Amino acid sequence: MTRMRRLVWSEADDRSRRDLLRRSAVPDPEVRVGAARICEDVRERGAAAVVEYADRFGGGFRRVGREELTEAVARTPVAVQEAIRASALTVEVYHRTQLPVDSITQPTPGVRIHRRWTPLDRVGCYVPGGKAAYPSTVVMTAVPARVAGVDEIVVASPAGPEGSVDPTLAAACAILDVDEVWAVGGAQAVAAMAYGAGDLTPVQKIVGPGNAWVTAAKLSVYGAVAIDLPAGPSEVLVMADETADPRLVAADLLCQAEHGPDSPAILVTDDPTLPDRVENAISTLLERLSRGDILDQALGKHGVVVLVDNRRTMIDIATRYAGEHVTVLTSDPERDAAEIGAAGSIYVGRWSPESAGDYATGANHVLPTGGLAAACGPLSIEDFGSWSQIQTLSEDGLRALLPTITTLAGAEGLDAHALAAAIRFERAQEER
């Protein structure tokens, strides 16, 4: 039977509590250093470096041709094609509600500030692949980019053992009319999109989830390009009380743990009888699942049951954990979900499985991990553009602000700042 580590919150010391709550999307410093080294090498040597790392770690490096993408659609069952289109439609509908609206304000007379949003020209979407393929991530990244008005959408995903991109993933790229698809993965893929490599020209921003190496690489290239958020290994926290069905708790823990052996799965409960019942349910459900070995590793190494005394503590832990996925299975899930202060995506009640959000509701499944949901949100339309402030002042408007400008410039010792405002009136005086 799979056993998850137990942590009795009232008896836990400060370090045990901190280890659970204070974490990182890239916890291993050696991964950060290694990813940064790969990115710098790709920056200096381009495609040659990408090919070397692809040969060493797998994943290939080639552009997937349009003919190959078209053939992938033909090989994909119609039901899967329809599911991709259905998912894309709900994602489009939801994300259209996020389209930014320009605004013009006049904070003082004679001063007009136009806040203008402009979509990016070229965006890179990293889509995990290799042992498992994620056409749903193509949907979650490419559809919002298209809704936002991005001109060129580039998808990079690791090739499988035979050097080809998963056919379902390739089909999704074709169905969604992705502009470029590259069979390349890992830190070298991130670096190639950031700096350019061969025929792969640089993008302005890189979005999408990945393993610790991909996440570390995104952090390494940040500055040369923009990134969405550090979305590392998937994680889940389930908050449940005595009313919860242990099978549903088990299923929701398994749902995200199957992404990989490094995926944390946390159960927080005030019912001391629930953990054993959940673990029994996990053992039964594992018999029905194909990724049993991965699930056993994830739950054995990164599964934790947190036993608490009351509802208030459950909510406090859920908020401080700031999980990527948080499921609420309590007697009043609406009330409890409303009180959780930080989470990437919250799933409320027995009819709200995490997989619904991963595939079908329209909400984005690219979410912050490692506790970053306390400060970052899900991937959204605004991630695919930038805001500008356009400031227009009249003569009277600047005159009214001149004392503020010159006084603060003088306080900071920046004479040129003061001069840039005052000289305009000197010029106007001369012209008169």
Q: Which of 324, 365, 412, 417 is catalytic?
A: 324
Q: 315: which 2 tokens?
A: 């909510």
**Phi and psi at residue 417, in whole multiples of 5°?**
-60, -45
Q: pLDDT of 138-149, one tens digit each?
A: 999 999 999 999
Is residue 382 flagged as an active site residue?
A: no
Task: Report the relative pairing of strands 205-207 and 265-269 from DSSP bridges.
Answer: unpaired
Q: What is the per-residue pLDDT across 174-209, written as a single tens digit (0 to 9) for each?
A: 999 999 999 999 999 999 999 999 999 999 999 999
pLDDT exceeds 90 at position 156: yes
CATH node for 5-25+233-362 = 3.40.50.1980
- Kindly name the residue from 259, 302, 325, 365 that is annotated as catalytic: 325
pLDDT tens digits along 301-347: 889 999 999 999 999 999 999 999 999 999 999 999 999 999 999 99
Percentage, residues of the chain above pLDDT 70? 98
Neighbours of 57 (CB within 10 A): 15
15, 287, 295, 371, 380 from 21: Cα distances, Å: 10, 31, 22, 7, 26
Residues whose CB is less than 8 angstroms from the CB of residue 17 and which lie 6 or more positions away in sequence, other chains included: 9
pLDDT given at position 133: 83
pLDDT of 432 reads: 61
Under DSSP, is residue 63 helix (H, G, I), strand (E, B) or coil?
A: strand
Give the tens place of pLDDT for each residue, 1-27.
678 999 999 999 999 999 999 887 777
Lowest mean pLDDT among 73-87, 164-178, 290-304, 315-329: 290-304
pLDDT score, position 148: 98
Strands 385-393 and 111-119: antiparallel
The CATH number assigned to the domain with range 29-98+115-228 reads 3.40.50.1980
Domain parsing of the chain, residue ranges: 5-25+233-362, 29-98+115-228, 394-431
In contact, 295 and 254? CB cutoff 8 Å:
yes
Closest CA to 128 of 156, 170, 168: 156
How large is the average pLDDT for residues 153-168? 87
pLDDT tens, residue by residue, 208-240 = 999 889 999 999 999 999 999 888 778 999 999
Edge-to-edge strands, sheet with 226-227: 62-63, 180-183, 152-157, 122-126, 205-207, 226-227
Q: What pLDDT does residue 233 have? A: 79
Report whether pLDDT(404) > 90.
yes
* CA 16 remoteness from chain centre: 27
- Is the pTM of the predicted complex or chain greater than 0.85? yes
In terms of DSSP bridges, do strands 180-183 and 62-63 run parallel, antiparallel, or are they unpaired?
Answer: antiparallel
324 is catalytic: yes
